[in-house]
């Protein structure tokens, strides 16, 4: 039953999506790959699309994955499921349990979860970078184009930060990478 799977999968994501915009990505990746809804490649494309379209990444990814599995109703089910936990928790915290967040045991648990999320995000990023530099078809081999692109993009990001003293925003980076990809992979 795909609807039940979507709802359960995205409820899990919604309950544990700590750590801002990027915190949900490893969770969604876990859930999506374990159910086999879409492949890693497509998921990565959708992360980029989510970065470049309005709204929180978590909501965008849930809508897309739901839609890819079961059309509009699937998208609605997944989006509802991913938003429901934070909706209920905020209601609970503001209306009933005003001191829940300040509770020392809750604080201790959160103190453990926050660095864990950072570690998980770092591992996911590193794994994606390394995975991208390998080609899997026809045989597993190092992809020279991917390595060239990785080096170029890191140089652009560091150069921008060095010159402008701030981070290159994600949308320009995605646009630059798209242009470079279209050129480099054309040969």
Partner 1 sequence: MKINILTELFLIFAKIGFFTFGGGYAMLSMIEDHCVERKHWITHNEMMDITVIAESTPGPIAINCATFTGYKKAGFPGALSATIGIVLPSFLVIWLISMFLDQFLELTIIANAFRGIKIAVGLLIADAALTMISKMPKKPLPLAIMTASFLLMLMINVFAWNFSSISLMLLAAAVSVTVFLTKGSGKPKEGGTGK
Site for partner 1 in 4-63 (CB under 8 A): 12, 14-22, 24-27, 30, 34, 41, 44-45, 47-60, 63
Minimum distance of partner 1 from residue 2's CB (angstroms): 15
Minimum distance of partner 1 from residue 43's CB (angstroms): 9
37-43 contacts, C-beta under 8 A, 24 or more apart: 37/65, 37/68, 37/69, 38/65, 38/68, 40/131, 42/68
Contact call for residue 3 and partner 1 (CB under 8 A) = no
- Non-local (6+) Cβ contacts of 120 within 8 A are 26
Minimum distance of partner 1 from residue 184's CB (angstroms): 7
Residue 96 burial by CB count (10 A; 0-12/13-18/19+): exposed, middle or buried?
A: exposed
Nearer to partner 1 (CB atom), residue 4 or residue 177: 177
Nearer to partner 1 (CB atom), residue 94 or residue 140: 94
Nearer to partner 1 (CB atom), residue 72 or residue 139: 72
Contact (Cβ atoms closer than 8 angstroms) between residue 174 and residue 52: yes
CA 172 and chain centroid, separation: 18
User: With contacts defined by CB under 8 A, how many residues of the chain interact with partner 1?
Assistant: 101
Q: Which of residues 110-149 bind partner 1 (CB under 8 A)?
A: 110-129, 131-132, 146, 149
Minimum distance of partner 1 from residue 74's CB (angstroms): 10
Nearer to partner 1 (CB atom), residue 97 or residue 139: 97
Burial 34-55 (b: 16+ CB within 10 A, else e): eeebbeeeebeebbeebeeeee
| From candidates 1, 94, 139, 142, binder to partner 1 by CB under 8 A | 94
- Non-local (6+) Cβ contacts of 178 within 8 A are none
Minimum distance of partner 1 from residue 42's CB (angstroms): 9
């Amino acid at each position: 039953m795909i609807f039940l799977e979507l709802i359960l999968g995205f409820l899990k994501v919604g309950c544990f999506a700590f750590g801002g915009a990027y915190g949900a990505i490893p969770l969604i990746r876990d859930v999506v790959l374990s159910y086999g809804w879409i492949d890693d490649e497509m998921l990565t494309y959708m992360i980029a699309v989510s970065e470049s379209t309005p709204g929180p990444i978590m909501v965008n990814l849930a809508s897309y994955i739901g839609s890819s599995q079961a059309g509009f109703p699937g998208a609605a089910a997944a989006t509802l499921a991913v938003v429901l936990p934070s909706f209920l928790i905020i209601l609970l915290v503001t209306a009933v349990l005003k001191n829940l967040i300040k509770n020392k045991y809750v604080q201790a648990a959160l103190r453990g979860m926050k660095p864990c999320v950072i570690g998980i995000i770092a591992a996911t990023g590193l794994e994606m970078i390394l995975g991208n530099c390998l080609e899997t078809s026809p045989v597993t081999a190092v992809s020279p184009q991917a390595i060239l692109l990785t080096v170029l993009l890191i140089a652009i990001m560091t150069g921008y930060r060095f010159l402008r003293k701030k981070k290159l925003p994600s949308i320009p980076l995605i646009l630059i990478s798209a242009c470079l990809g279209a050129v480099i992979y054309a040969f």
